[in-house]
Amino acid sequence: MTTTAPSSPRTFSRLAVPTSASAAVTSGTYFRLGGYIDAEESGLIPANLTYSSSVTTQELQTLPDTTNRETAAEEYNTTLNSRNQDLFSQEDGSSLATSSGGRTRNTTRQFELNKISITRTAQTPLKNGILAKTDGDIIAVADGGAIVDLEKGLMLASQTGDFTVDLPAGAAKFSTFNGIEMQAGNSTHPANIALTAFGYIKQAAYGPLDDVRFATSSMKTYGYTKEWFYGEKYSEHHGTSTSKFYGDETRVTDGTSDQTFLGFANAKFVGRRHTFNLAGTLTIALAGDFTLHAGGKLDINIGLYMKINAIGEAKVCGVIDFKLAHIDFKIVDIDCKFINGAEIKQEKLTLKQTVGKIWDKSLDITGSRIKAAGESIAAKFTSADVTA
């Protein structure tokens, strides 16, 4: 039936099947074409059902200068412009890297990244058009396909139920111009997002990427992993960190490495450890330095070995202290040595200059001569030498 209602400036046609003969015309299944009927349809359209249109804004973010960085970063910067055309080329031959953001590189070798923000504007639905309502379910079966062409927006809402898309023999594709947003739950009702692929997953961000976690996270990789990073990297960890590595590890640092420990550092090596240093080594300890070797220790020095001690040095050797040197040169103010047992020396030539000498000996045996020193013996033997 086509008619014009007083509350509607437009004509309309509708098909209505009420729940009973005395019920309202919109109580059962209701289908209307044309003008909106305010008197009868005011409660059919939920107030929160709106669609929207969006616009995007871009914020330029410049990373630190990489002019004097490592060779790998320099090579990446050099080839970036040539790759931009392939990565962001459009059908008209222009490049997205310069026309609508993405990644660019300026003359100072700085990466420029455009952070895109989406702004949505809610659109109030037009009440004129097609209005369908039913107190039951809607079932549509088509042996062919379905095409829906919408000029403005689309909103699908389920007040208490779920939304399911099942493609048992097909694939789904989402292509948007301004972006895709997904949200599960809210601040008072947490919800999950599960993504499973029994194949290949590719994630590419030609712009900034934020990954934020406010709970326990877990990541497992069973297979071969490669990772490349070009640019500045800052990492900060608050809390306890435990890392276990089973296997071989090769690490190469082509540049300066600076490490600072503000607390206690403990390292254990159960196996053999080799350290090769082709340049100098500087170690500064402002407090005590304690080293314990339970086994043998061998130090081989090809060049000059120098040791400077500002206060003093104490050495305790439990069994034997052996030194082999071509020249042993020592300059001291006072050389004091206490021998509880015997001192054995074998010299081929002795050159000595003594300004003053104080001896207190009980017996001195040199070769075949006997020298006795002391007040009691000196009183009897004035010649001081007794030849056997």
Task: Please give the helix or strand (H or E) that residue 57 lies within, else none.
Answer: strand 51-62
- What are the phi and psi torsion angles at 83 (to 5°)? -85, -20
More confident residue, 67 or 270: 270
Could you list the beta-strand ranges (E) of 83-163: 103-105, 111-123, 129-133
Q: What is the pLDDT of residues 358-387, one digit of tens each?
A: 666 665 655 545 555 544 444 444 444 544
CA angle 357, 360, 366 (to 5 degrees): 85
Q: Which pLDDT does position 387 carry in this prediction?
A: 46
| Range from 68-77, 158-167, 257-266, 292-301 carrying the lowest mean pLDDT | 68-77
Q: Which pLDDT does position 30 carry in this prediction?
A: 92
- Classify residue 199 by its DSSP letter: S
Round to whole Å and give the CA distance between 388 and 385: 10
CB 48 within 8 A of CB 32: no
Cα 131 to chain centroid distance, Å, stands at 54
Using pLDDT thresholds of 50, 70 and 90, give the confidence band for residue 86: very low
When pLDDT is averaged across residues 225-230 and rounded to a whole number, the result is 85
Round to whole Å and give the CA distance between 274 and 211: 39
And the tokens for 38?
């305010």
Q: What is the pLDDT of residues 129-141, one digit of tens each?
A: 888 889 889 898 9
CA angle 221, 227, 229 (to 5 degrees): 145
Q: Which pLDDT does position 312 carry in this prediction?
A: 78
Q: Which pLDDT does position 153 carry in this prediction?
A: 82
Percent with pLDDT over 90 in the chain: 4
Q: Taking the model in full, what pTM does it have?
A: 0.54
And the tokens for 3?
């008619």
Q: Which pLDDT does position 381 carry in this prediction?
A: 45
The chain-wide mean pLDDT, for the chain, equals: 75
3-state secondary structure of 386: strand
When pLDDT is averaged across residues 334-353 and rounded to a whole number, the result is 81
CB 14 within 8 A of CB 33: yes
Q: Which pLDDT does position 72 carry in this prediction?
A: 45
- Comparing CA positions, the residue from 207, 203, 175 lying closest to residue 58 is 207
Q: Look at residue 332 and tell me whether its pLDDT is greater than 60.
A: yes
Q: Look at residue 46 and tell me whether its pLDDT is greater than 50.
A: yes
When pLDDT is averaged across residues 331-346 and rounded to a whole number, the result is 82
Q: Which pLDDT does position 44 carry in this prediction?
A: 80
Using pLDDT thresholds of 50, 70 and 90, give the confidence band for residue 87: very low
- Could you give the strand order of the β-sheet that contains 364-366, starting from the edge strand earlier in sequence? 364-366, 369-371, 386-387
Round to whole Å and give the CA distance between 31 and 37: 12
Q: Look at residue 80 and tell me whether its pLDDT is greater than 80.
A: no
